[in-house]
């Protein structure tokens, strides 16, 4: 009996340790509980910065921030526990039968001997000081609220005709007429099927797309532009990081998880979205390998159910499944998949097939006829893709094969100046902020295009070339406020001369391009 009274006194003493007193001497515990209740209601709706620290709350158990874990429960000493861990803790505690434990005479005798619960040690509250034992170096800065972006061009409920979609793509993408037609028709038919919920006996199937094209031809840029125009969730995933289940890397379901995040975790919007899987050629079946192919053929086999349509379990807010990440089920039957890749060695396979048809005679084809064909990928067949390493089951779920053209000199010149966000327009805007006009003559544009063709990296080479010769201009222009106009010439691009500098007051000066010359072991500038 005395031991029980001692336990009650200890319990009362522990309760007093958690009570706080205001400056006027009144008890502040009830006031704190009210504040905690209000904070629990608002927590999880956003990353509010109530304490002004700028850091997110981190769960004391699973160490996930509130942007990932969601609603947080506030405990004394700045301890935060997420809703998942709180539920798991309560479920674990509810499994013990304390009533029968206290009614057990043997257990109570042992309790009286040891003056405490057996095998139970009380928590050291000193470990919970300083923000629950989690330093700021292990926390994540809170994100600022994003400003509202501009309204999209198209609405899913009023999807325009394919020719209107293509007209909008023409403002940003130069060339690739056939590819833009295919994507416009596919998107139009896809969202007609989505808008028409009540299906009759005839069910419209989706048509997944496989895009082939050399590097820098505009595969990814075409899909990104489409995402800006459409008010639909679109996710761009990379196939290089995908591995077979059980190995280090992203699971195959992570591509759907990215679409779920793009749809703000709305399952209904996710099931009507578009997924673009880039670098699809990197999961081709490996040849002459003795190790297990965990990122090749096995990934293609795992993607079959996604492409055709099935109910898959998708992790929410993560790329892989684990015990601390909640899962949800998404049906991929109405998700449009667009796969793109450069397929660098596919051209040799196509040429080998075409050269077998060459013969001898006046009307026969020469064996080197297709050696310098820039659009060799347009002659691709399913058999060529099989030889490359794509399995037949995977190709069967991508019925539309679209090839992009290789960029020519004229196309590169148009890419420089015609799109709405052309590269030249970007530099003109940068210099316009310094009240300087920037112009390129036709010879300079042709010289840039010729250099880009030599690099053989498509449109990506244009910015690298322009960055090279624009470095000195961007460095020197802010020094002199009298400069009013700069004209880039062909000689300046080729390193034979300098740009034309027009001083305010109609005076034009050509600044020579000074380059280091090495002669006799000395450098003369």
Cα 254 to Cα 316: distance, rounded to the nearest angstrom: 9
Cα 2 to Cα 311: distance, rounded to the nearest angstrom: 63
Phi first, then psi, for residue 379 (nearest 5°) are -100, 20
User: Lowest-pLDDT range, 43-47, 280-284, 464-468, 492-496?
Assistant: 43-47
* Range list of β-strands (E), 133-216: 209-212
Question: What pLDDT shows up at residue 39?
Answer: 45
Cβ atoms 306, 259 nearer than 8 A: no
181 pLDDT more than 60: yes
Number of CB atoms found within 10 A of residue 271's CB: 20
Question: Mean pLDDT, to the nearest integer, of 474-486?
Answer: 88
Predicted TM-score of the model (pTM)? 0.67
* Highest-pLDDT range among 90-99, 207-216, 366-375: 207-216
Greater model confidence, 77 or 492: 492
Cα 384 to Cα 284: distance, rounded to the nearest angstrom: 12
User: Lowest-pLDDT range, 89-98, 229-238, 456-465?
Assistant: 89-98
Give me the helix-helix angle, 442-455 and 409-417, nearest 10°: 120
Domains of the chain as residue ranges with CATH: 2-138 (no CATH), 162-403 (3.40.50.300), 409-524 (1.10.8.60)
Cβ atoms 424, 417 nearer than 8 A: yes
Band (pLDDT 50/70/90 cuts) for residue 112 is low
Tokens encoding 479: 């020094």
Cα 66 to Cα 58: distance, rounded to the nearest angstrom: 6
pLDDT, tens only, 269-320: 888 888 999 999 999 988 776 777 888 888 999 999 899 888 988 888 776 6
User: Lowest-pLDDT range, 82-86, 285-289, 364-368, 383-387?
Assistant: 364-368
Question: What pLDDT shows up at residue 47?
Answer: 44
Question: Mean pLDDT, to the nearest integer, of 104-111?
Answer: 65
Average pLDDT, the chain: 76
Number of CB atoms found within 10 A of residue 199's CB: 9
Band (pLDDT 50/70/90 cuts) for residue 197 is low
pLDDT, tens only, 238-255: 999 898 877 888 888 889
Question: What pLDDT shows up at residue 45?
Answer: 41
Question: What pLDDT shows up at residue 130?
Answer: 52
Question: What pLDDT shows up at residue 287?
Answer: 77
Question: What pLDDT shows up at residue 66?
Answer: 83
Cα 250 to Cα 265: distance, rounded to the nearest angstrom: 19
Could you tell me what percent of the chain has a pLDDT over 70? 68
Band (pLDDT 50/70/90 cuts) for residue 86 is confident
Could you tell me what percent of the chain has a pLDDT over 90? 22
Burial zone of 151 (CB within 10 Å; 0-12 exposed, 13-18 middle, 19+ buried):
exposed
Question: Mean pLDDT, to the nearest integer, of 147-156?
Answer: 54
User: Lowest-pLDDT range, 152-161, 396-405, 458-467?
Assistant: 152-161
Greater model confidence, 478 or 517: 478
């Amino acid at each position: 009996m005395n031991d029980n009274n001692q336990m009650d006194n200890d319990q009362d003493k522990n309760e007093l340790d958690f009570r706080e007193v205001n400056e006027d001497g009144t008890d502040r515990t009830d006031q704190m509980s009210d504040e905690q209740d209000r904070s629990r209601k608002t927590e999880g709706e956003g990353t509010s910065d109530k304490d002004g620290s700028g850091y997110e709350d981190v769960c004391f158990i699973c160490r996930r921030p509130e942007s990932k874990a969601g609603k947080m429960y506030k405990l004394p000493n700045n301890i935060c526990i997420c809703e998942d861990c709180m539920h798991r803790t309560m479920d674990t505690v509810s499994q013990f039968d304390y009533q029968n434990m206290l009614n057990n005479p043997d257990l109570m005798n042992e309790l009286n001997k040891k003056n405490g619960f057996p095998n139970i040690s009380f928590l050291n509250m000193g470990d919970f000081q300083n923000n629950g034992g989690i330093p700021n170096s292990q926390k994540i800065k809170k994100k600022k609220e994003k400003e509202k972006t501009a309204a999209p061009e198209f609405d899913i409920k009023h999807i325009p005709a394919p020719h209107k979609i293509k007209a909008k793509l023409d403002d940003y993408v130069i060339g690739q007429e056939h590819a833009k037609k295919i994507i416009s028709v596919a998107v139009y038919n896809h969202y007609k099927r989505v808008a028409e919920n009540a299906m009759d006996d005839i069910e419209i199937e989706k048509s997944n797309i496989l895009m082939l094209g050399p590097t820098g031809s505009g595969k990814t840029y075409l899909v990104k532009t489409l995402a800006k125009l459409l008010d639909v969730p679109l996710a761009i995933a990379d196939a290089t990081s995908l591995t077979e289940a059980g190995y280090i890397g992203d699971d195959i379901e992570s591509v759907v998880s990215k679409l779920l995040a793009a749809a703000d975790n709305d399952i209904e919007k996710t099931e009507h979205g578009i997924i673009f899987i880039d670098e699809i050629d990197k999961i081709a079946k490996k040849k002459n390998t003795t190790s297990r192919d965990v990122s090749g053929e096995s990934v293609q086999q795992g993607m079959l159910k996604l492409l055709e349509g099935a109910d898959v379990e998708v992790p929410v807010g993560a790329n892989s499944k684990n015990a601390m990440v909640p899962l949800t089920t998404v049906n991929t039957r109405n998700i449009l998949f667009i796969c793109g890749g450069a397929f660098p060695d596919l051209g040799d396979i196509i040429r080998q097939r075409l050269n077998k048809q060459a013969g001898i005679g006046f009307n026969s084809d020469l064996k080197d006829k297709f050696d310098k064909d820039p659009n060799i990928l347009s002659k691709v067949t399913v058999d060529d893709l099989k030889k490359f390493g794509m399995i037949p089951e995977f190709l069967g779920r991508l019925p539309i094969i679209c090839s992009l053209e290789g960029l020519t000199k004229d196309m590169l010149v148009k890419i420089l100046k015609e799109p709405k966000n052309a590269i030249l327009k970007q530099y003109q805007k940068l210099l316009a902020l310094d009240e300087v006009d920037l112009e390129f003559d036709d010879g300079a544009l042709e010289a840039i295009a010729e250099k880009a063709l030599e690099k053989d990296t498509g449109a990506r080479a244009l910015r690298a070339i322009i960055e090279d010769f624009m470095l000195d201009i961007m460095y020197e222009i802010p020094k002199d406020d009298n400069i009013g106009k700069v004209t880039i010439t062909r000689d300046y691009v080729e390193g034979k001369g300098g740009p034309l500098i027009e001083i305010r007051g109609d005076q034009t000066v050509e600044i020579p391009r000074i380059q280091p010359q090495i002669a006799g072991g000395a450098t003369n500038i």
